[in-house]
Structure 1
Amino acid sequence: MTRAEREALSAPFLIEDEEVVRAIARLADERGTAMKDIVALAVQDYAYRHSLATPAPEWLQRYWREHPLPLPSGLKADKRFYDSLNDEE
C-alpha cells in the first residue's frame, strides 16, 4: 500500500470543493447512478488515459520513488507574501 493510500484510508474521503460536488451530483442525476459510482468511473477513466502516456525514464521513476513529494497540505499559498519576497506589490 502506498503512502497516499494509507493516508486516504485512515479517514473518510471528503470532497470539500462545492463546485466539484455539484458537478458530480449533476452527472449522477443525468446518468441515474450513485455519486460514488461517478467518482469511481472518473478515476478508472483517468487511470486508463494515464496508462496510454509514455512512461518516464527508469532513472526518473527511481528518483521519484526514492524522493517522494510531500502530500498536499490543503493550505493555500499567500501570494502577497511571496510577491513581497521579490519586492513586488
Structure 2
Amino acid sequence: MNAPLPPPTRAEQQALSAPFLIEDEELVRAIARLADERGTPMHEIVALAIADYAHRHSLASPAPEWLRRFWNEHPMPLPSGLKADKRFYDSLNDEE
C-alpha cells in the first residue's frame, strides 16, 4: 500500500512553483559531458548525483534530536537572491 507523501517543505514549495534552472554554464557543461560519456539523460545524471549525495550525507552522524526540533521550529529564511551591499554595511561601522 502506498503511504501518502508528507507535505512539501518551504524550499520544496518554492522549487515546485517554478522550473528548476541551473544558471552555472560550467556546471551544465559538466553534466552534459558526463551524460554523453555514459549515454544517460542529463536529468538522470542529476538524480543520481542527488541520490549519491543524500546517501553520503546519511552516513554522517545525525544532529541531536533537540537540535533537529529547533531547526524545524525556527527554519532559516530562504535565500532572497539579493547581493549584500558591502559598502553600506561598512558605512554602518564607520569603515571605508
TM-score of Structure 1 vs Structure 2, range by shorter chain: 0.7 to 0.9
Paired residues, what number? 89
- Residue 73 (structure 2) aligns with: 66
Spell out the pairing of 1:30-69 with structure 2 (5 A cutoff): 30-69=37-76
Q: Does 1:82 align with 2:89?
A: yes
Please list the CA deviations of residues 24-47 of structure 1 after superposition, one character each: whole Å capped at 9, or x if unmatched.
Answer: 111111211111011101100110
Find the residue that maps to 2:21 and give its secondary structure: coil
Which sections of structure 2, spanning at least 5 residues, go unmatched? 1-7
Q: Does 1:3 align with 2:10?
A: yes
Task: Work out the CA distance in 2 between the residues paired with 1:56 and 1:86.
Answer: 36
Superposition CA RMSD, Å: 1.5
Going from structure 1 to structure 2, the CA distance change for 1:86 and 1:24 (only over 3 Å counts) comes to farther
Q: What TM-score do you get using the length of structure 2 for normalisation?
A: 0.80
Deviation at 1:3, TM superposition (A): 1.2
Task: Work out the CA distance in 2 between the residues paired with 1:63 and 1:16.
Answer: 33
Please list the CA deviations of residues 28-85 of structure 1 after superposition, one character each: whole Å capped at 9, or x if unmatched.
Answer: 1121111101110110011001100101111111110000001112222233333444
Task: Work out the CA distance in 1 between the residues paired with 2:44 and 2:18.
Answer: 19
Going from structure 1 to structure 2, the CA distance change for 1:88 and 1:25 (only over 3 Å counts) comes to farther
Q: Which runs of 4+ in 1 moved over 6 A?
A: none
Q: Does 1:28 align with 2:35?
A: yes
